[in-house]
A and B are shown apart, each in its own frame.
Chain A
Amino acid sequence: MKHPYLAKLLFLLLFVCAGFTGAFAQTGSVSGRVLDEQKQGLPGVTVVVEGASLGNSTNADGTYSIQNVPAGPHTLIISFVGYNTQRQSITVTAGQNTAVPPVTIGENTTLLNEAVVIGYGTQRRQDLTGAVEQISEKQFVKGQVTSPEQLVQGKVAGVQITTAGGAPGASSQILIRGGSSLSASNAPLIVIDGVPVDNTGIAGASNALSLINPNDIESITVLKDASSTAIYGVRASNGVILVTTKKGVVGEALHVTASTQQSIATVAKYADVLSADEFRGLVNTYGTTGQKTLLGSANTDWQREIYRAAYSADNNVSVSGAAGMIPYRASVGYLTQQGILKKNDLNRFTGSLSLSPVLLNGNLRVNLNVKGSWIDNNFSNQGAVGAAVSFDPTQPVRSDEARYAPYGGYYESLDLSGSGNPNTLAIRNPLALINLRRDRSTVKRSIGNLTLDYKLPFVPGLSANVNVGYDVQRGRGTLYVPATAADSYFRGGINNNYSQDLNNYLLEAYGKYERTVGPGKLEFLAGYSYQKFQNRSYVFNDYREDRSIYIPVSLSYTGEDTYLNTNVLLGFYSRLNYNIADKYLFTGTFRADGTSRFNPDHFGYFPSGAFAWRLKGEEFLKNSSAISDLKLRLGYGKTGQQDIGGYYPFLANLTLSTLTAQYQLGDTFYRTLRSDQYNPNITWETTTTYNVGLDYGFLGGRLYGSVDVYKRDTKNLLNFVNIANLSGLSNAGNFNVGSLTNKGVELISNYDVVQGDKLNITINANATYNRNRITKLTNSDSPEDIGQLTGGIAGGTGNTIQVNSIDYPTQSFYVYQQAYNADGQPLEGIYVDRNGDGTITSADRYRYKSARPNWILGGGANASYDNFNLAFTLRANLGNYVYNNVRSQSFYDTSTNGFLVNRNSEVLDSRFTSAQYFSDYYVENASFLRMQNVTLGYNFGDLIKKGTTLNFSFAMQNVFVITNYKGIDPEVIGGIDNAIYPRPRTFTAGLTLGL
């Protein structure tokens, strides 16, 4: 199905309406801005010229302009529901624009009128019909925040943000309402100033989002239910995050802000491994003669050797204001951040420019945003994190013995046969891993867009909006390992480079029509969206240290040294809002979306509908002072998912083998051609969401928040599943198989405990309960089906600890039930015979808990007294379990390959002598409470001169973690803890100067 006519229609419409307006003589225009008490722009405020039928309402940023005002003195009346009406005297000069100073109007109720960014537009909070949460700058997590998503960690109900570890610029897993997919992506769509960005990841950066400077962000809005996300149909199943950056405003004077933050990060916790003396004791007690002879005499704490106290500085300068009708903001930032792992650091330069002129007498609004960033990463060698946990503590870091000279003087386990070569099975010296490696990258990214919003002069209420944008990323990196490094000794070191380009182009156009129809206000929007993602990867020779070729480059089928993958998304969308007397609100959206990933049936169709009833608007509540707001929301919608990683799952193509996978027949080597697995019928995964919500405000608006209950059913899961042998060209592939359900409750509450002249205290809390359950996994529900094994663990090859099974949560642990003696000591190799057949077989494994938390809690408080303010954020997950893979590798093993492995202190408790990888003994409750940050600030006020600000702040991040989990950190993406890069404890001092 194709719908070109929609676009054509719009095109025609715009052309017809491409009229011109001229300015009349003897009149002028008036423009200005209306602010709330927080000095933020207020949208939707009515501004009229007294005594004349002239007026307008303010836009999203609170600006307004009124045309054709007769010259002379006038009075503006600025009014808005819930605010005190203000009057302002002005004098209009013919043929000129009169800039009115910003007017601040006081709230008389709540922040119901706050402008909330939604898909393709903004809405007053009180008009929202979906589950939408907006976090603005003042609520952001403070301290050293490197990547934007960390600004709202713990702040938004239903959103679980987990960083991969403590490295600067580490990636994050963002799960909104539990995630709706199994094999396909569970990442939300992220839209920055109207540009859906590419977060597939680029070579050289762990986290594509870390290329955005958090200091440029004004607000982050999370769209959670389908009625708000379905307008992004194509990629909306996992929620949408809208990021809005700061902009200049009309009439604003030049304003310069400079800030600096200086941080020290320290290791918060070390893995609990044996000290050298404890380890010697263990080996001497339980070891074989051969093992005892391997013991060294040194005392090395490898973890302390590889970590350090790390220093960071984050400096930002921004300039904003308006040059006539052109408001601007420009900023530059420089971040230099060390990781606590030696040699690990990140340097980031960012710049952003935003211009938002209002032209053609206020009818054409232009928004130009350009952001650029440049990151230099030094990754160090994160393999050292795991090596430091298991490397023999009785060995020295360095040795003068001649046999270690080939390895740069670092102690290494050598071959048992006495050849002097490294033992290829051994763990490598953690310090050598770090010092004999240079792993650097440079990643550049620019995101920009130009938006034109034009009020068409001949049809009142009709406007057209075009948005042209791009998001380009360039990743370049080098890896250098000298031939003396034991881990690359046999191949002669590494001297390689890599490269990747990501290009993402956007074109969007929509028309909007607003008018009064019958008893209410109608707003209709219809648009078209086209986005192209190109991913070009380059292949290079694999070099030795001396730049001699180790493995020559394998050129592509067409003889190129690049591989280009393209994904095109194209959609037609529409939305209808109908507002009857600010009491009954209807929203309907529809999107037809096409993707190049599915062929020939590109298109999927995603409708949604929502209804809200503002009870507060009814007579019986209108005058209630106890209940300041009450709104019931009902929503339903379908959203889609197409992101399965691969680009052409439908295509029956043949792949050429590399030069290292040739085959010899006769005396000739052939690069082979393989027929690849494909699925011509692959299509959309769809999620149906039902949402019931209640927004409330009590105590004159001092206590407010919302409650949402939701159910999300995903069917036709884009799933990587086993297929019947001989039915395809592999044993598994991408198919639309299975369904899963997420059900949950979200609670949000804000309470202004004290509101006074000097003392103000606000507390906020959010809680999410989410249960996720797989309801269908295969096409034939066979009793033999245990489900899809998943969750690979360290120790052995190919061992898995989790399973996705019907009627269980995703990532359930699949383990044996450990048997214990009367003293509570685990019995080695003894498990509970759960099926009672007299023997322990794999049929005795059972599904025990899941990595997914039942409850996600967040909260915090802001207190200010005079010029002081204090804020903190707490986060907690409850009911999440983690397989402690560090502990499960801590058995005392008497078989040796010529080197000793340090153990977790666990070994002293369990006394296991062989691996018990699949025991539930290692599945631990990882519920936790973490103090994410605490900030103390002091505002020096007009210290330098009137109108300037100077703020000092002191922040501490990762203050404490309360948990029973035995590893170093209970928060592990995927629930398998295998020595993660520790999240540091960070102390930050910051100074902000405003001029």
Chain B
Amino acid sequence: MYTTKFIRTLGMLTLAAGLSLASTSCINDLDQVPDYSANAEVVYSDPAQIQQVLARLYATFAISGQTGPSGQPDISGIDEGFSNYLRQYWQLQEITTDEAVLGWQDGNLPAVNQLTWNADNEFVRATYDRIYYEIGLCNEFIRQTSDGNLSSRGISGTDATTVRTYRSEARLIRALCYWHVVDLFGGGPFATEEASIGTNPQYRSRADIFAYVESELRDLDGLETANGGLLAPRAVYARADQAVCWTLLTKLYLNAQVYTGTERYTDAVTYANKVLAAGYQLCTTPSAQYSAYQKLFLADNNSTEARNEIIFPITFDGTRTTGFGGITFLVHAAVGRAIPPASIGINGGWGGIRAKQQLTSILTTNTSTTDTRRAILFTRAQNPNVDTLTAFSSGNLLPKYKNVTSSGAAGSDASGNFPDTDFPMFRLPDVQLMYAEAVLRGGSGGNTATALNYVNAIRSRAGSPALTALTLDNILNERARELYWEGHRRTDLIRFGQYATGYNWAFKGGVRLGRDVDPTRTLFPLPNTDIVANPNLQGHQNPGY
């Protein structure tokens, strides 16, 4: 009997306990949040964390997700490392030209080499998606750091000024990305921090986005640092400062004829002059192992004299900024066959990127045999001509980016996977050559003698004889010699009218010796994926696709 009673009581207690638990606490239990991340309210109330979000805006160019080298990807639909911003931007600017070929059979990669891409090309899409991903992140950052939000979250005084500077940098990075849209795609979807999450953006034309980028940059240029404007040139390494703003304006104006149909060479000279007066210096001191030019592309280029020449780098680190795109790709993919990987500071090459014979020809024409830029060409056991798209033996090798320091030591990643080398997105000779070109094209505010001096300074650093006079052709070729494989070539060839027709290179148009392609190839198509996802883009596909 007692047992019965006991069991009954126990049973009822269990029932009661169970049910009271059920009826009270449990509904609220449906509100679950993770214990390992934070919401915007928390993060954006702390200037230190806001700086971590700002760092993330820069990091988009270098990494592919929040777990290095891969994991928690930023975008979907394509391999993370493959679709890294720098890697894709570099590919569209370089392997579509006479400078480089990338001979892998990954998806529709051959079509990118051959200028036969279409609106379903995953590499075109990846570039586009990365650019817009970054714009979206910038918009969110700018939205969250509005003056109203700062004051409502209790950020004031110098803290507020610091965060406003971050916001200016975010605007500059966003303008840089919109410039990539203008250059690669023409027009495209457009939204700023004023748009809200969840709404499909409208299409804006190339001229509209150009005008927007210009106005943003001009606005940023007019903002004092003390009032939350951009940092002064060279103040902090790798930050998007005033010189980056000016360089971007120079680029925008130099290409304005292409982008809008109206030339703006005088404006280009104006802003080039600002950069040229900002104190950047060519790196001219070689090390025991490497030339001054080569030092710009080594593992320690963030700490040697090379740093004085770099206006805007994308920073990498062998253990702390890792990924399979970016500099990892640029270093590994150029190595293979007879190049000992150890000499490049890595554990093995990927056998991918090679120089086309047209670049070899430019490098070996009108230069000294000891030209330090030309010296990087690796010809042993290589067929100098790209006769086969897929064979790594076809075309000279060009290990420009190396994971060794100027004293020859390997980079910091002992396993030899991830280089330390920073990628110079903007550097002084680019601006010097833009100045020269704008002057030659009739821009006022400069003169040809100064232009010639700049060009000869670049040539002299490399060890080639000075030119006596400048032509536009000289400048295009000198840009190729100085800036090859740095992501400028496609834009340059288009500006010089030599991209679609009139100048051919290996496998252009899909044939071995190259052929003219339709002029619509100067723009990439808007990816079909985005046209499908965003009805506002329908009817706005670029001609030819």
Contacts and interface: CB of A to CB of B under 8 A. Distances in A.
Interface of A: 2, 4, 7-8, 10-11, 14-15, 18, 20, 359-360, 364, 366, 415-419, 421-425, 450, 452, 454, 464, 466, 468, 490-492, 507, 509, 528, 530, 532, 550-551, 554, 556-558, 560, 563-568, 570, 594-596, 599, 602, 647-648, 651-667, 669-676, 680-681, 720-732, 778-780, 782, 784-786, 789, 795-800, 841-843, 894-895, 897, 914-915, 917
B277 to A, nearest CB: 23
B39 interface: yes
Given A674-B74, A731-B76, A778-B532, A664 B321 contact: yes
Interface string B330-365: 000000111111100001111100000000000000
B15 A509 contact: yes
B29 A568 contact: yes
Contacts of B514: none
Interface string B29-52: 111111111111001000001011
A798 B122 contact: yes
Contacts of A424: 341, 347-349
Interface in B10-25: 11-12, 14-16, 18-24
Given A14-B16, A416-B337, 18 more contacts: A18-B15, A415-B341, A468-B14, A560-B35, A560-B36, A563-B34, A657-B63, A658-B66, A658-B68, A659-B320, A661-B323, A662-B68, A665-B238, A666-B236, A722-B77, A895-B103, A895-B390, A895-B391
A556 B351 contact: no
Given A551-B319, A653-B38, A7 B133 contact: no
B5 to A, nearest CB: 8
A648 B49 CA distance: 22
Contacts of A556: 35-37
Contacts of B417: 490-491
Interface string B488-529: 000000000000000000000000000000000000000011
Contacts of B446: none
Contacts of A789: 77
Contact of B40 (A599, A654, A726, A780): A654
Interface stretch (B53-61, B279-287, B290-298, B436-444): B53-61
B76 A673 contact: no
B351 to A, nearest CB: 5
A723 B416 CA distance: 38
Interface stretch (B91-99, B157-165, B191-199, B458-466): B191-199
A673 B19 contact: no
Most chain A CB within 10 A, of B107, B199, B239, is at B107
Interface stretch (B134-142, B266-274, B369-377, B469-477): B134-142
A832 to B, nearest CB: 18
Contacts of B33: 648, 651, 653
Most chain A CB within 10 A, of B5, B189, B392, B530, is at B530
A509 B62 CA distance: 54
B388 interface: yes
Nearest to A565: B34
B7 A359 contact: yes
Contacts of A595: 30
Contacts of B195: 726
B321 A661 contact: yes
Most chain A CB within 10 A, of B12, B323, B530, is at B12
A399 B414 CA distance: 28
Interface stretch (B213-221, B242-250, B533-541): B533-541
A666 B535 CA distance: 42
The 7 lowest CB-CB distance pairs between A and B, nearest first, are A424-B348, A660-B68, A724-B534, A661-B68, A672-B56, A725-B132, A670-B55
A672 B53 contact: yes
Interface of A is mostly: loop
A773 B78 CA distance: 25
B89 interface: no
A14 B237 contact: no
Contact of B338 (A416, A454, A842): A416
B59 A731 contact: no
A676 B53 CA distance: 12
A651 B39 contact: yes
Given A425-B350, A563-B36, A673-B53, A728 B197 contact: yes
Given A663-B56, A675-B40, A897-B392, A648 B78 contact: no
23 contacts: A14-B19, A421-B342, A491-B417, A560-B36, A563-B34, A596-B29, A596-B30, A596-B31, A658-B71, A661-B59, A661-B68, A666-B237, A674-B137, A720-B76, A724-B189, A725-B128, A778-B532, A782-B538, A789-B77, A797-B107, A842-B120, A843-B118, A894-B391
Interface residues of B, number: 132
A941 B147 CA distance: 88
Given A360-B8, A424-B347, A655-B66, A647 B75 contact: no
Interface of B: 4-5, 7-8, 11-12, 14-16, 18-24, 26-27, 29-40, 43, 49, 51-56, 58-59, 62-63, 65-69, 71-72, 74-79, 82, 103-109, 116, 118-122, 128-129, 132-133, 135-137, 139-141, 189-191, 195, 197-201, 236-239, 302, 315, 317, 319-323, 336-342, 347-351, 388, 390-393, 414-417, 528-538
Nearest to A679: B198
A556 B390 CA distance: 44
A732 B278 CA distance: 42
Nearest to A671: B52
A910 B211 CA distance: 56
B238 A664 contact: yes
A795 B200 CA distance: 36
Contact of A466 (B19, B53, B342, B416): B19
A464 B390 CA distance: 73
B207 to A, nearest CB: 19
Contact of B534 (A565, A727, A729): A727
A252 to B, nearest CB: 22
Nearest to A796: B106
Nearest to A672: B56
Nearest to A9: B23
A19 to B, nearest CB: 10
Nearest to B20: A11
Contact of B529 (A366, A551, A665, A722): A722
Contacts of A364: 7-8, 11
Most chain B CB within 10 A, of A416, A417, A796, A798, is at A798
Contacts of B118: 841-843
B481 to A, nearest CB: 28
A394 B257 CA distance: 61
A626 B184 CA distance: 78
A415 B349 CA distance: 9
A726 B189 contact: yes
A599 B140 contact: no
A567 B197 CA distance: 26
B65 A666 contact: no
Contact of B65 (A554, A661, A665, A724): A661
B538 A654 contact: no
Given A4-B23, A424-B347, A654-B37, A723 B533 contact: yes
Given A672-B53, A726-B191, A782-B531, A662 B321 contact: yes
A665 B139 CA distance: 21
A648 B32 contact: yes
A697 to B, nearest CB: 42
A130 B135 CA distance: 53
Contacts of B236: 665-666
A421 B39 contact: no
B341 A421 contact: yes
Contacts of A800: 107
Contact of B27 (A2, A507, A894): A2
